[in-house]
Amino acid sequence: MARQSGRAKRIDYFYGGFLEDRTYLWRNHPTEKGESLIHLGTDYTVPFGTPVCLPKPGEVYHIMFDPENKIGWGGRLIFKLEGGNYLLFGHLKQDIKLQLGQPIKEGEIVGIIGETTENGNWWPHLHAQLMNSQFMVNYVNKFNNIDGYAPANSDEIRNVFNPEIIINDGSRGYAIY
């Protein structure tokens, strides 16, 4: 995994994994799909309890809870950003207080990184996934089916962008504080 050190406003983190082939991660896993799995987002490894902020103005588009940690996301939020793209944040604490349609300002805290026991059974990290409107059209009425992985030959790969272009672009705030 390509990892790079970084420094947000107050914490150290490392990140990597956009469009990375993570088939190796799922070998012999109970949910192994038997095909190449490309990671559609970027993972930011940070301590649990780290606040997560929206790096661009937007509105809450979808909220998902996984109280039994069976789906693998923990708390998950999708925002419709100004400009029409969508940003997914996954592996959050599940005490999300936001409401669908709620407008969110740039830099506003939207969630907290969850512990392993509440974030989908993963190490503490933020999964950020930037998607265009076509990606979302493909999931109308089934947003809970949105995954952080896709087969290598999937059309979904053309409909995601590296979230670094808005998360830490230098001119805006940071998504992780």
Helices and strands per DSSP (H, E), number in the chain: 3, 13
Q: What is the pLDDT of residue 31?
A: 55
* Amino acid, single-letter form, for residue 58: G
Cα torsion 62, 52, 152, 118: sign: negative
Closest by alpha carbon to 53, among 6, 89, 11?
Answer: 89
The answer to whether residues 13 and 176 touch, using CB atoms and an 8 Å cutoff, is yes
**Bridge partner list, 80:** 59, 86
Q: What is the pLDDT of residue 159?
A: 97
Q: What is the pLDDT of residue 6?
A: 47
Q: What is the pLDDT of residue 161?
A: 96
Per-residue pLDDT of the chain (177 residues; tens, 9 = 90+): 223 344 444 555 666 789 998 877 666 655 556 677 899 999 998 899 999 999 999 999 999 998 887 788 999 999 999 999 999 999 999 999 999 999 999 999 999 999 999 988 889 999 999 999 999 999 988 998 998 989 888 989 999 999 988 886 544 444 554
Q: What is the pLDDT of residue 28?
A: 64
Q: What is the pLDDT of residue 126?
A: 94
Each domain of the chain, given as residue ranges in start order, spans 41-147+159-167
Q: What is the pLDDT of residue 68?
A: 82
Q: What is the pLDDT of residue 33?
A: 61
C-alpha distance from residue 85 to each of 70, 100, 124, 134 (Å):
28, 17, 26, 9
Written out in words, the top-level CATH class of the domain with range 41-147+159-167 is mainly beta
- CA 159 – CA 155 distance, rounded (Å): 7
